[in-house]
Amino acid sequence: MRNMLFCALALSTATQAHEPYVAPLAYLTENTQVPVLSAYAEQAFHPEYALKDTSFTVFQPNQTQSTVQPVKNLDSAATFDLKLPEKGTYTIFAKTSYPIDYVQHNRQWKIFADVAADKVPALSERDYVIPSDFKGKVPSKVSTVREWSIQSYVSKDSTSPVAITPAPIQVSFKTHPNQINVQQPVQLQITQAGKALAHAELMVRAQGELEQQAKSTPVDAQGNATLTFEQAGQYLIEVSEKVDAKAKPKNQYYSIISLQVNASKTP
């Protein structure tokens, strides 16, 4: 199963078809514990492959940390019970990564997959390349790592400040992530290594949406952006650096945040 997963991911990385996420079954609760699910998914929040060998860091409301190992009895998702002994907001965080090779093709850097032509669509239908796409020897490859930082938040009884995680790309919400309502403008600030990440790539997907349905939101030179959600429900917020296909590839870092947008409160 692990080899099948990595093969599937290798063939889909150019379109980012399968990406990881972590999400609780309840973002706001009065319970003493809540189930948490993590997986690779093509449609947002529709788990297909479990994250393997990934441990999760839980930041308690008092900012102390604990490590949780998920249950390993499912192929489609990794799950664990998040204990909620105290009131306030718990931040769930993990990292996962995958090596990716690039080669130059028609003066652009593209992901390279070492597979036979009869296993993939025609070149015109994909944005990665395979050995048969080259008339002669395959050009020298550049090896990189794509790293995803995934996180979410659970609030018991009341909200409290969210924790700062080790994610290379930080997303700071001016509104608490568990207090976001429909039609409410939400301001974000995006930083990397303590500095504003100017003109970052900011994509938003509602539950069930594919990568190509993601909505792009502009980020200014100071790393600021504003999101407004039209409907209640779960959303994935994905932030990364913009990729220049003509520049030599380097390691890529993504932050993917799962959150729940609440329905507007009636007077």
As a whole number, the mean pLDDT across the chain is 92
Pair 41, 129 in one domain: no
3-state class (DSSP) for residue 156: strand
Pair 65, 180 in one domain: yes
3-state helix, strand, coil in the chain (%, to 5): 10, 45, 45
C-beta atoms surrounding 54 within 10 Å: 16
Pair 177, 235 in one domain: yes
Distance CA 16, CA 106 (A): 21
Residue 217 lies in a domain: yes
Pair 92, 125 in one domain: no
**Taking every pair of C-alpha atoms in the chain, what is the biggest distance, in angstroms?**
69
List the structure tokens of 194. 């303590």
pLDDT at 18: 87
Pair 91, 105 in one domain: no
Residue 267 lies in a domain: no
The pLDDT tens digits of the residues spanning 8-61 come to: 444 444 334 689 999 999 999 999 999 999 999 999 999 999 998 899 999 999
User: What is the phi-psi region of residue 71: left when phi exceeds 0, alpha when psi lies from -120 to 50, beta otherwise?
Assistant: beta
Domain carrying residue 134: 100-143
pTM more than 0.85: yes
Pair 109, 186 in one domain: no
Pair 252, 193 in one domain: yes
CATH of the domain at 53: 2.60.40.10
Residue 18 lies in a domain: yes
DSSP letter for 126, please.
Answer: -
Angle at 177 between CA 61 and CA 90, to 5 degrees: 20
Pair 165, 197 in one domain: yes
pLDDT at 5: 41
Give how many domains the chain has, as a whole number: 2
**Last residue of a domain, which of 143, 175, 196?**
143
The pLDDT tens digits of the residues spanning 161-213 come to: 999 999 999 999 999 999 999 999 999 999 999 999 999 999 999 999 998 99
pLDDT at 267: 56
